[in-house]
Structure 1
Amino acid sequence: MGKLIEDYGLIGNMVSCALVGIDGSIDWLCLPHFDSDACFAALLGTPDHGRWLIAPKKGEIKNTTRRYLPNTPILETTFETETGVVCITDFMPLTTNEKKVELLRIVRGIRGQVDMEMDIVLRFRYGETVPWVRQTDYGIRAISGPDTVELLTPIPLHGENMKTRSNFTVTEGSYVPFTLTYHPSQEEPRFISDSRAALTVTSDWWQEWASRCYNAHASVPPEWRDAIVRSLITLKVMTFQPTGGIVAAPTTSLPEEIGGERQWDYRFCWIRDSALALHTFLSSGYMDEAKAFREWLLRAAAGHPEQMQIMYGLRGERRLTEEELPWLPGYENSRPVRIGNGAYRQKQLDVYGELMNTTHLARMSQIGSATSWQFQCTLLRNLEESWHYPDEGIWEIRSSQRHFTHSKMMCWVAFDQAVKAIEIFGLEGPLDKWKKIRAEIKTDILTHGYDSERNTFTQTYGHPGLDASLLLLGKTGFLEPTDPRFIGTVEAIEKELIEDGFVLRYRPEESTDGLSGNEGAFLVCSFWLVDAYALIGRHNDAMVLFNRLLSIRNDLGLLAEEYHPGLKRQLGNFPQAFSHVGLIDAAHHLLQSYIPQP
């Protein structure tokens, strides 16, 4: 078996990113952008599908440790051998030109002497295309159609079996830089002349950004503070700086079930996920990110309201055609490997509520705009009728549309926030009409989405199955936290959806979602249970569950989409924005409830 998902660390520059394995191998890198074709795709195949290894020679490693430089996404991996200690620093410098991206690896000798190996296998188009590689006076140049990658290093390189390799030795005080730089083939390359200066500039920028977090003050428990800041940095890394869009995850096709078919491409901007991430940024004190997302949304969703999609590309692209890559065997033989995502054609009514919720918070933070309110009113006029219809729901089922209780609840939230916008801020809108629709939706949910015999709300109208998204009934204000129906729903989910202390989204065997197999526990759902516990006064249970969730992060503080309690490993795309949003929001809730603010 290869590396576990949690064996990877993330580095990035808000244009693209890479996954660096604990063994010193970069197994995933898309250039020049998050959603570009991968030139290192060993994550979903073998080393022959592209990777970049720098490490002590095989058999010589006694111990490996790694860490991020404080408050940055700069990764340090330290290898100890019988003869010495070596440290590799991996990072991606910030760029002002999204077409030209660099990745730096700096090898430093810490103690003694260490024999090293470097093996770089460049394979464009997700591991399928072998580029034309030729040596230069500074390293190598690899060209494949419109894409060119250059490798700069002072050590000698040689070609071997369609790969580029090198063996070198570092001693105490040695400093060996490697720079991988991408540029369009028709343009001239841009080289970083001073790797030390680039490291300092990159570190300083990230540390200043992280220092602005509201909830990083001294009264916060250190482990919580580190978890909050690391999650915020991870979300920022996954923000596409040129447009303000946020990818749901920087990977594709990491499986929700090992060997199963549940794997998807998450390198796009879901309105729901992005809105929740921006809600998190706002509550943490980051206004610029909220403004950038607002502008991205206005551009992406511009047009007829009935044509608003649930997700878009990084720049607002609408066509995200899904296809399979048969030449990649998949992570631990989990097929198919997919790029693109067919869910862009789905209807998911809950996105209206997420949007209105986030824009209301933005308005409360004094960053609303007249254009934004006009856009919201246009969407609400469409929702006045469409809330009656079934949809695919928050979990993007690939079977028939249904009346999901969570979707209806978020439609209620949309009109509730619109009413508040008019009443609190004096904005223009059909107040009485929207109040009436809000009341109609609530009556509809209480009539069709609530099982009075079991004292719980259900996933869909007329079906007994449960859904973890119902944990949001109290947080959204649809019900008071003290309402027996909300407490009953929390208790029902505890009884039916918890496995080994973690919350499932739903039971696939009870809720036909159009796919075979099962999946792990969806991590954001467990964070929602933390919030629900806190709301209903079960403070100790909230703290215990939150600390349990912190304990399953990898050694760098990163979380994937899911966790398998039985296998004790992370599953799904990695790192996952939804999981880190859940962590930050749960921490904020607990801090506001139990820990005195300065």
Structure 2
Amino acid sequence: MSSPLEHYGLIGDLTTIALVSRSGSIDWMCLPRIDSDACFAKLLGTNEHGYWSLRPAVEVRAVQQRYRPETLVLETEVTCDGGRARIIDFMPPGETEHDIIRIVEGLEGEVPMHSDLRVRFGYGKLTPWIQCNSHRATLTSGPDALAYISPVPLVPDWDASRLEADFVVRAGERLPCSLTFYASHLAAPGHPVDAERDLVRTEQYWREWASRCRYEGSFRDAVVRSLITLKALTYEPTGGIVAAPTTSLPEELGGVRNWDYRYCWLRDASLTLEALMRGGYLDEARAWRDWLLRAVAGAPDEAQIMYGVAGEHRLPEVELPWLPGYEESRPVRIGNGAYGQFQLDVYGETLNAMYEARVYGVQEAGSLPWDTLKVLVDFVEKSWQRPDEGIWEIRSKRQLHFTHSKLMAWVAVDRGVRFVEQFGANAPEKLKKRLPRWRALREEIRADILARAYNSRVGAFTQSYGSDALDASVLLIPHMGFLPADDPRMLGTVAAIEKGLTKAGFVERYLAETGVDGLAGHEATFLICSFWLVDNYTMVGRLDEAGALFQRLVSIRNDLGLLAEEYHPGLHRQLGNFPQAFSHVGLINSAVLLEAKRAGRDVSFTAMAAASMH
């Protein structure tokens, strides 16, 4: 059985990742890309579905897991009766090969160790052909292969389905082992991995990257860890950032709300860009912006809500019946059928990302994207009155006029107007001539939202037009500059969400019992929604409450500073896919906003945008 999510650490090489448990087992890894088939899938099943365990062969008295400061080098320190040892796990970034390197270091006395490698390609279904020669082995299945180098001779088990090795590490010794992916039609890597050199290089890479962080406030450690996590979720060849490196980790233990998050959502783009740029990472923001523009290239009515890491359009959803799921949460799904939904908000997110990038000084590689700007705003002009599936990707086949979707339609037009007004001195004349029409459209959408989305009976902006249901996504209204946070309607909305969507101090995205999503069961509190509440408190000067909620959110991170998608306050468990980019984006943006407000700076949308231009 897999470990609780709180007991996992993340390592990666900017093309894929591995999840390593406190017990020294790699239980999830996809190769060669973050969205490829998993070769270790114990996280969603049992030992039979693949893992790589490296642990003491005697009883462990104590375990401590940590990252080397400001790196993605993971250390797991174990104490046994006979001594103490450390396992150093990392993946060197920037290599053409995909190496997982594990160094066992003796700290005190001597510790007998056991290595157990059970590779199962195809998400735990396919047993590889193993060829073993003393310290080296290859494991092959169809197009995929792994080369394994062990510090001691390897012993295949009786049916050649796994590789085991026993050895003793003594104080002062450092014994490396490695696993390298390669295409099976090519020769296995002939050169041994230089583990010590790669460790130094990996540590230097991450420390240099972290040193560029521009944030120097009181939450720096948490912010840097979140930025490193976002960087780890990047597919560097294209700049795309996935929502999470995992699939089917449940929103409710034993439930069916299990989705594949190894893709790039357009709606994540705006807030992710903002988090990267506020942290000082303009190169990463530029790469993400460029990925975004490539992904949406073409007809705007064909734009999707999500794409593959290289911009793939087809993400068909299928179930894997041989996997029992994380803590028996079925079904396990790969692919994501929501890619075919119509979600009006993605046009606002795309244009907001373009605008934010330009405001923060992320220059265009060539000419400004005037054609993209024109076709997206024109499409919103024709389509903003259509119902859609909304930010939460409702699968009930019901399309509603969601407030957040209309808000983002307004954002699309507003950012189009702002882009031309602020940066359009050399814009095409035909685009400048559109400005009066776009300004009028912006006011039309604004009036529609104020008239139909605000429910005077509830005293709040509600989930959709004519609804009494609450929805945390409306907390983004001031963040997007639609209304100031101290507008009476927003104050009433915050009060209603505090009363109706808050559970043990954390915010739910909506109440599942309203039936809007058409799915059975419930879910835990949605972490980014709690960060949005922090932001609303901050904007109106409720700094004690903002600080208290922010500290509560920081406190539920695991020992390594990682957050999943959701948190169950009753079970004290992290749930959903892990680690979740959106949760870490929320942490970064809330920390920056709270620090700025405490310093007496204006944190309204207009002020923050203006400040970013200087």
TM-score band by shorter chain is: over 0.9
Q: How many angstroms apart in 1 are the aligned matches of 2:123 and 2:2? A: 19
Q: How many angstroms apart in 1 are the aligned matches of 2:442 and 2:223? A: 35
Q: How many angstroms apart in 2 are the aligned matches of 1:305 and 1:440? A: 22
Q: Deviations over 1:48-102 (max 9, x none)?
A: 10000001115x10000011011111100000001100000000011342xx211
Does structure 1 conserve the Cα–Cα contact (< 8 Å) formed by 2:242 and 2:261? yes
The answer to which of 28-37 and 295-304 deviates more is 295-304
SS in 2 for 1:227: helix
Does structure 2 conserve the Cα–Cα contact (< 8 Å) formed by 1:95 and 1:101? no
Where does residue 412 of structure 1 map in the other structure?
Answer: 410
Q: How many angstroms apart in 2 are the aligned matches of 1:495 and 1:25? A: 42
Q: How many angstroms apart in 1 are the aligned matches of 2:138 and 2:454? A: 63
Shift of 1:592: 0.8
1:280 aligns with 2:275: yes
Where does residue 108 of structure 1 map in the other structure?
Answer: 105
1:566 aligns with 2:597: no
**Amino acid in structure 2 at the alignment position of 1:357:** N
Where does residue 461 of structure 1 map in the other structure?
Answer: 465
Where does residue 587 of structure 2 map in the other structure?
Answer: 583
Where does residue 420 of structure 2 map in the other structure?
Answer: 422
Q: Deviations over 1:25-44 (max 9, x none)?
A: 00001011100100000000
Shift of 1:245: 0.5
Query: Structure 1 residues 408, 511: CA separation in 2 closer, same or farther (over 3 Å shift)?
Result: farther
1:74 aligns with 2:73: yes
Q: How many angstroms apart in 2 are the aligned matches of 1:180 and 1:10? A: 16
**Amino acid in structure 2 at the alignment position of 1:228:** V
Where does residue 85 of structure 1 map in the other structure?
Answer: 84
The answer to which of 4-13 and 287-296 deviates more is 287-296
Q: How many angstroms apart in 1 are the aligned matches of 2:195 and 2:39? A: 23
Does structure 1 conserve the Cα–Cα contact (< 8 Å) formed by 2:541 and 2:597? no
Does structure 2 conserve the Cα–Cα contact (< 8 Å) formed by 1:132 and 1:144? yes
Where does residue 147 of structure 1 map in the other structure?
Answer: 144
Q: How many angstroms apart in 2 are the aligned matches of 1:353 and 1:443? A: 17
Q: How many angstroms apart in 1 are the aligned matches of 2:14 and 2:373? A: 28
**Amino acid in structure 2 at the alignment position of 1:462:** G
Shift of 1:123: 0.3
Shift of 1:3: 1.4
Q: How many angstroms apart in 1 are the aligned matches of 2:83 and 2:354? A: 55
SS in 1 for 2:513: coil
Where does residue 521 of structure 1 map in the other structure?
Answer: 525
Where does residue 135 of structure 1 map in the other structure?
Answer: 132
Shift of 1:137: 4.5
Q: How many angstroms apart in 2 are the aligned matches of 1:242 and 1:401? A: 36
Does structure 1 conserve the Cα–Cα contact (< 8 Å) formed by 2:455 and 2:462? yes
Aligned counterpart in structure 2 of residue 500 of structure 1, from 504, 512, 517 = 504
Q: How many angstroms apart in 2 are the aligned matches of 1:338 and 1:346? A: 17
Aligned counterpart in structure 1 of residue 369 of structure 2, from 372, 388, 392 = 372
SS in 2 for 1:302: coil
Q: How many angstroms apart in 1 are the aligned matches of 2:361 and 2:87? A: 44
Does structure 2 conserve the Cα–Cα contact (< 8 Å) formed by 1:29 and 1:40? yes
**Amino acid in structure 2 at the alignment position of 1:150:** A
1:353 aligns with 2:344: no
Shift of 1:511: 4.1
Q: How many angstroms apart in 2 are the aligned matches of 1:593 and 1:513? A: 37
Does structure 2 conserve the Cα–Cα contact (< 8 Å) formed by 1:471 and 1:490? yes
Q: Deviations over 1:400-442 (max 9, x none)?
A: 1110001101111111111111222234441111111111111
SS in 2 for 1:86: strand
TM-score (norm 2): 0.94
Where does residue 440 of structure 1 map in the other structure?
Answer: 444
Q: Deviations over 1:110-163 (max 9, x none)?
A: 000111111110000000000100103442100001001011123111111522
Q: How many angstroms apart in 1 are the aligned matches of 2:584 and 2:204? A: 23
**Amino acid in structure 1 at the alignment position of 2:213:** C
Does structure 2 conserve the Cα–Cα contact (< 8 Å) formed by 1:527 and 1:586? yes
**Amino acid in structure 2 at the alignment position of 1:234:** T
Q: When the two structures are aligned, how many residues end up with a matched partner?
A: 589
Where does residue 394 of structure 1 map in the other structure?
Answer: 391
Q: How many angstroms apart in 1 are the aligned matches of 2:356 and 2:339? A: 26
Where does residue 609 of structure 2 map in the other structure?
Answer: none
Does structure 1 conserve the Cα–Cα contact (< 8 Å) formed by 2:65 and 2:75? yes
Aligned counterpart in structure 2 of residue 244 of structure 1, from 231, 235, 239 = 239
Q: How many angstroms apart in 2 are the aligned matches of 1:383 and 1:178? A: 54
Q: How many angstroms apart in 1 are the aligned matches of 2:334 and 2:576? A: 15
Q: Deviations over 1:177-214 (max 9, x none)?
A: 01100000112333453110000001101110110111
SS in 2 for 1:509: helix
SS in 2 for 1:358: helix
Query: Structure 1 residues 93, 511: CA separation in 2 closer, same or farther (over 3 Å shift)?
Result: same
Segments of structure 1 that go 5 or more residues without pairing to the other structure are none
**Amino acid in structure 2 at the alignment position of 1:287:** L
Q: How many angstroms apart in 1 are the aligned matches of 2:165 and 2:126? A: 22
The answer to which of 428-437 and 393-402 deviates more is 428-437
Where does residue 183 of structure 1 map in the other structure?
Answer: 182
**Amino acid in structure 2 at the alignment position of 1:474:** P
Does structure 1 conserve the Cα–Cα contact (< 8 Å) formed by 2:565 and 2:578? yes
Where does residue 537 of structure 1 map in the other structure?
Answer: 541
1:227 aligns with 2:222: yes
Shift of 1:276: 2.0
1:296 aligns with 2:300: no
Does structure 1 conserve the Cα–Cα contact (< 8 Å) formed by 2:269 and 2:353? no
Matches for 1:253-264 after TM superposition, within 5 Å? 253-264=248-259
Q: How many angstroms apart in 2 are the aligned matches of 1:368 and 1:441? A: 30
SS in 2 for 1:266: coil
1:32 aligns with 2:27: no
Where does residue 93 of structure 2 map in the other structure?
Answer: 94
Query: Structure 1 residues 343, 480: CA separation in 2 closer, same or farther (over 3 Å shift)?
Result: same
TM-score (norm 1): 0.97
**Amino acid in structure 2 at the alignment position of 1:402:** L
Does structure 2 conserve the Cα–Cα contact (< 8 Å) formed by 1:465 and 1:511? no
Does structure 1 conserve the Cα–Cα contact (< 8 Å) formed by 2:135 and 2:154? no
Q: Deviations over 1:560-597 (max 9, x none)?
A: 00000000010000000000000000001001111479
Where does residue 328 of structure 1 map in the other structure?
Answer: 323
Where does residue 310 of structure 1 map in the other structure?
Answer: 305
The answer to which of 414-423 and 39-48 deviates more is 414-423
Shift of 1:229: 0.1
Shift of 1:373: 3.2
Aligned-residue Cα RMSD (Å) equals: 1.3
**Amino acid in structure 1 at the alignment position of 2:12:** G
Where does residue 548 of structure 1 map in the other structure?
Answer: 552
SS in 1 for 2:489: helix
Q: How many angstroms apart in 2 are the aligned matches of 1:274 and 1:64? A: 38
Q: How many angstroms apart in 1 are the aligned matches of 2:204 and 2:273? A: 24
Q: How many angstroms apart in 2 are the aligned matches of 1:56 and 1:169? A: 9
Segments of structure 2 that go 5 or more residues without pairing to the other structure are 602-614
Q: How many angstroms apart in 1 are the aligned matches of 2:600 and 2:108? A: 45
Q: How many angstroms apart in 2 are the aligned matches of 1:152 and 1:88? A: 16
Q: How many angstroms apart in 1 are the aligned matches of 2:225 and 2:599? A: 20
